Amino acid sequence: MKNKWAGALCLALASGIWGGMYVVSKYVLNFVPPLTLLWLRYMIGFAALYALLHAGRKKKGKASLAKKDWLLLAWIGFVGYFASVAMQFIGTQKADAHTGAIITSASPVFIVIFARFILKEKLTARKMLALIIASAGVVIVIGWDIHLQTYFWGSLILAGAMITWALLSVYVKVASWKMDSLTITTYAILFGLLFTTPFAAREAMMAWPVSSGGFWGMAGILYLGVISTAGAFFLWNKGLEMVEAGSGSLFMFLQPVTGSFLGWLLLHESLNGRFFAGGALILAAIAISLLPERMRLVPRMETQKKYIGLK
């Protein structure tokens, strides 16, 4: 049970960091184009994580990874840290931020579905109730002013971002059966960096203006690389290591709540009754999902054996 609550704390912190990330990104994107910023985030994040991983190896010794492990890490880096984030950028550009927030907030639904078929996690009535309550909370917080017909292609790309992030969350759980969270996060971000590099280079060749933005611009880039990328991705992966992917997915609903709160605190945006009502529903749904019940806390042993190569 202690692991479950520790995992919940990790997931809540990760979601909170991502919710606040948009406040910093909004400022930094005035100086740095999006794919270049994403490349910088991954470069800084990988450097920070690799330093920690290297320091740990000196104490514990070098851990060997099989070819199958590297392929899984490459898949996580491609589907989550490259494809999902890139599609979110492009989709939001072709639609709008509000439509993007609504569509991508449905990612937990697909995490639950993928976890059922890939991880063999049990689909309980409590889990479904919590998912419905949290979804209602998100709709209340950010509204339902969505324009699928107006932004058809943007909405379609955003749906791809939502589905690929769900796949990332499930396959991180698979990787955690054999690798620790620091190893998973470090090398998955490295693959994300490699996949992002040619697109960032193309953006640079298009002569998009890039500026450091002075002290606060550099501080923002470092924050996005170290805290929002290295820190938050590690916390998310660590949390998924300790709780079921389906239950952990509910913490993604905290992002719009945190983003709205920090927008009010730092950007002087207004908060209304919908924020508090929707936020209360999301917190209630998370509490419901974490209450003890008669259910498996880990996937079936035979599913783990299939992925880690045991007989």
Rounded CA-CA distance 99/4 in Å is 33
Rounded CA-CA distance 193/60 in Å is 27
Q: Give Cα separations from 60 to 56, 139, 185 (angstroms).
A: 6, 47, 18
Burial of 226 (C-beta count, 10 Å sphere; 0-12/13-18/19+): middle
Give the pLDDT score at 280.
85
Opening angle at CA 242, ends 241 and 246, nearest 5: 80
Give the pLDDT score at 181.
93
> pLDDT tens digits, residue range 119-136?
888 877 877 888 888 778
Opening angle at CA 264, ends 260 and 268, nearest 5: 140
Opening angle at CA 45, ends 39 and 50, nearest 5: 125
Rounded CA-CA distance 250/130 in Å is 8
**Taking Cα atoms as reference points, which of 29, 100, 21 lies closest to residue 259?**
21
Give the pLDDT score at 124.
79
Average pLDDT of adjacent 10-residue blocks, the chain of 311 residues: 80 86 77 87 96 79 81 96 85 64 73 86 80 79 60 79 90 92 95 95 75 80 93 93 83 77 71 78 78 51 56 39
Rounded CA-CA distance 232/217 in Å is 20
